[in-house]
Amino acid sequence: MEAKVQITAAEVNKLRQATGAGMMDCKKALVEAEGDFDKAIDVLRKKGQKVAANRADRESSEGAAIAKVNADNTVGVAIVLGCETDFVGKNENFVALANQLADLAFNYNTKDEFLAADFGGMTVAEKLIEQTGVIGEKLDINAFEKLEAPYVGSYVHINKIAALVGLSAKVKNAETLAKDVAMQIASMGASTLSYKDFDPAFIASELEARIAVIEKDNEELARLGKTLKNVPKYISMAQLTPEVLAGAEEAAKAELKAEGKPEQIWDRILPGKIDRFISDNTTLDQEQCLLDQNFIKDDKINVAKYVASYGDVAITGFKRVSLG
């Protein structure tokens, strides 16, 4: 009978370092491979493929969101390495893997290119399958974003949300500006930069949907004898044409006259009324447009005014990734 191959602790440790697999899994793989290191790696990969196939229909909605910026702050990447449970998502080895993958992501422009990239002698996609076998949960790259600009900043919120922002110039204190705006992006979840990016058909459908909800709410409020909600005519600055704003000003003047306010003080009151009209009728912009959102560190100004306080600089783009 052929003697059984003796596996040393050093060989087991070498395989652990190479694959991240557990001690017993490494020992079993080496025994099955009769001590051949490369064959043992194949054994672990095949195990990963089997586990991955069994868990293909699982949701990888937990994990780690990572954002990184290169040394000269001109390129940023943000990825989400997904797993099945929060327990694995917080594991330091899992987070370390997510950071290694983010470092590699700088070299690629798309998720497909990234998944096909070399990672220690295997592709990123193969590494995810291998680690699925090691960890016992489905792993996937749930998000991949890349941003280039004259200055790129980032912010990560407890590995749950990661954001990148591009600035048109590296102005004084650009690091602070970029971090604050990236924090805004992470916190408030803007979908676009400005109301100018909206398609008119989208605004119209969104207005129709909001009116329907408010009218339904008002039916119940009326039944209860409570104050009804205001039904909006507009929800975006894109709808507030010069004619609409002129009409709002005339309505405000008529209101002041009815209240008996002297005309000589109207100029001091009208700007505030027009600002209130604009605020009440641009709710879509405030929710979805980064520049039009109230700044989270000072809600008396919007993001556009905060950016303008840094001088001749503009936001060129942004990216946001999150778990789930």
Domain spans in the chain, listed from the N-terminal domain onward: 9-54, 62-194, 196-322
- Counted residue by residue, the chain has a size of 324
Residue bearing tokens 């970029």: 178
Structure tokens at 197: 């990016």
Helix (H) or strand (E) run with residue 75 in it: strand 75-83
Q: How confident is the model at residue 51 (pLDDT cuts 50, 70, 90)?
A: low
Q: How does pLDDT run across 295-314, given as a tens digit for each residue?
A: 999 989 999 999 999 999 99
| pLDDT of 52 higher than 60 | no
| pLDDT of 20 higher than 70 | no
Q: How does pLDDT run across 93-131, given as a tens digit for each residue?
A: 899 999 999 999 999 999 999 999 999 888 999 889 888
Q: How confident is the model at residue 324 (pLDDT cuts 50, 70, 90)?
A: confident
Q: How confident is the model at residue 2 (pLDDT cuts 50, 70, 90)?
A: very low
DSSP line for 179-200:
HHHHHHHHHH--SBS-GGGS-H
d(CA 122, CA 154): 29
Q: Give me the phi and psi of 37, to 5 degrees please.
A: -60, -50
Strand-pair partners of 33: none
Q: Look at residues 178, 104, 141, 143 and name the one whose alpha carbon lies nearest to residue 320.
A: 143
| pLDDT of 3 higher than 60 | no
Min mean pLDDT across 85-99, 129-143, 150-164, 260-274 is at: 129-143
pLDDT at res. 173? 95
| pLDDT of 43 higher than 90 | no
Say if CB 212 and CB 202 are below 8 A apart. Answer: no
- Mean pLDDT within 235-260: 94
Q: How does pLDDT run across 53-81, given as a tens digit for each residue?
A: 656 666 778 999 999 999 999 999 999 99
DSSP H helical segments within the chain, as ranges? 9-19, 23-32, 37-54, 86-89, 92-105, 111-115, 124-135, 174-188, 200-223, 242-258, 266-280, 283-288, 303-308
pLDDT at res. 48? 65
3-state class (DSSP) for residue 208: helix
pLDDT at res. 1? 36
| pLDDT of 38 higher than 90 | no
- Mean pLDDT within 174-190: 96
Say if CB 162 and CB 321 are below 8 A apart. Answer: yes
pLDDT at res. 99? 96
The percentage of the chain sitting over the pLDDT mark of 90, rounded to a whole number, equals: 71
| Burial degree of 121 (CB within 10 A; 0-12, 13-18, 19+) | exposed
pTM: 0.78
DSSP line for 97-132:
HHHHHHHHHTT-SSHHHHHTSEETTEEHHHHHHHHH
Domain 9-54 has CATH 3.30.450.20: no
Strand-pair partners of 143: 80
Q: To the nearest 10°, the Cα dihedral for 105, 107, 110, 113?
A: -100
Min mean pLDDT across 40-49, 65-74, 245-254, 296-305 is at: 40-49
| pLDDT of 149 higher than 50 | yes
pLDDT at res. 18? 72
- Mean pLDDT within 237-248: 95
- What lies within 8 Å, CB to CB, of 268 at 6+ separation is none
d(CA 288, CA 189): 7
CATH architecture, domain 62-194: 2-Layer Sandwich (3.30)
- Mean pLDDT within 127-148: 89
pLDDT at res. 15? 77
End-to-end CA distance of the chain: 55
> Which of the two residues, 137 and 193, has the higher pLDDT score?
193
The percentage of the chain sitting over the pLDDT mark of 70, rounded to a whole number, equals: 94
- Mean pLDDT within 135-160: 93
Q: Give me the phi and psi of 87, to 5 degrees please.
A: -60, -50
| Burial degree of 206 (CB within 10 A; 0-12, 13-18, 19+) | middle
pLDDT at res. 21? 67
d(CA 25, CA 12): 9
Structure tokens at 53: 């196939």
- Mean pLDDT within 215-244: 93
d(CA 244, CA 281): 11
Tell me, what DSSP letter sits at residue 289? B
